[in-house]
Amino acid sequence: MTVDLLLSPKTKRPAGEPCCEPVVYPDVEREQAARMATIAKALGDPVRVQLVDVLRKHAGKVCVCELVPLFDLQQPTVSHHLKVLRDAGIVGSERQGLWAYYYVIPDALEELSAWLS
Amino acid sequence: MTVDLLLSPKTKRPAGEPCCEPVVYPDVEREQAARMATIAKALGDPVRVQLVDVLRKHAGKVCVCELVPLFDLQQPTVSHHLKVLRDAGIVGSERQGLWAYYYVIPDALEELSAWLS
DNA sequence: TAAGTAGGTCGATGACCGTCGATTTGCTGC
DNA sequence: GCAGCAAATCGACGGTCATCGACCTACTTA
């Protein structure tokens, strides 16, 4: 594979000369990068990936009381992970009496998937 | 939207009865979840997302000396982020004399993208 | 050989994260 | 009202992360 000559520094150059001119990263893409990082960060824990996985495998909404026993974790910890996912816009929640139901909002995941492709 | 009756607890149930039977998450999916979380975690920082973005926009390999001035960060910090990406299998590196060139290994990103879809 | 340079590594520091026990909130049924 | 329950929040603890200055390594060239 050949090196991209447009970007690569010269193999031989006068000592002291910078190897390449500074490149500015566009601000628009900086914002998109921040958004992608936010989503990815929320998925950066095995428990949260599994939570998303379970929620996606059920078209409807899933009760928190069904999610907790899936893990070797206490209820507050699962609740915390669900909040992280919700803050990232990956899942939504809805209260019905005593129970809370969570569901996947596909937009965020699709956004990340689109950026990856 | 209706609630998935197979998973949802009854709205009215005898007090003291568990709202739902325990569900076991398959181990195979646990491993996949861990792999997805590893990749996502590596992308869970705006700097690393931008690094991947820049590397992807250049078909060949990009010198580290071009990556550093893109950010308001010192060289050791950029080097650290590149190592995180490399440890996750997202990028690869190659030394040529004084310079180090980094490039994207598409497999990991495709793996995550596939799981997201 | 010596000087200069690119980039990786180390150690420290402050911030953040995952986890849990304890508590609180809000709802249900008696 | 009260007791009981599901889930969220709080506070604290230990571990990890992002960042940097200092240093080290490897290479080039004079």
Q: What is the pLDDT of residues A31-83, one digit of tens each?
A: 999 999 999 999 999 999 999 999 999 888 999 999 999 999 999 999 999 99
Domain extent listing, chain B: 27-116
Q: At which residue do the structure tokens 């398959």 appear?
A: B26
| B29: chain A residues, CB-CB within 8 Å | 50, 53
Instruction: Write down the CATH number for the domain with range A27-116.
Output: 1.10.10.10
Res A25 pLDDT > 90: no
- A9-24 in b/e burial notation, b at 16+ Cβ within 10 A? beeeeeeeeeebeeee
On whether any CB of chain A is under 8 Å from the CB of B54, the answer is yes
Res B9 pLDDT > 80: no
| B7: chain A residues, CB-CB within 8 Å | 58, 60, 62-63, 66
**Listed residue (A46, A47, A55, A30) closest to A108, CA to CA:** A55
- The contacts of residue A103 (CB under 8 Å, 6+ apart) are A55, A60, A61, A62, A91, A92, A93, A94
- The contacts of residue A49 (CB under 8 Å, 6+ apart) are A43, B33, B34, B36, B37, B40
Chain B residue with the nearest C-alpha to that of A19: B65
> Strand C: which bases are under 7 Å from protein Cβ?
4-11, 17-22, 26-29
Contact between A111 and A42 (Cβ < 8 Å): no
| For chain A, percent of residues with pLDDT exceeding 90 | 71
Residue B113 is given by DSSP the state H
H or E segment and range at residue B91? strand B91-96
pLDDT tens digits, B71-93? 999 999 999 999 999 999 999 99
Q: Which two tokens stand for residue A7?
A: 């970007």
Closest nucleotide to A66: CA versus each C1': D6
| For chain A, percent of residues with pLDDT exceeding 70 | 79
Report CB contact under 8 Å: B53, A33. Answer: yes
pLDDT tens digits, B29-62? 889 999 999 999 999 999 999 999 999 998 889 9
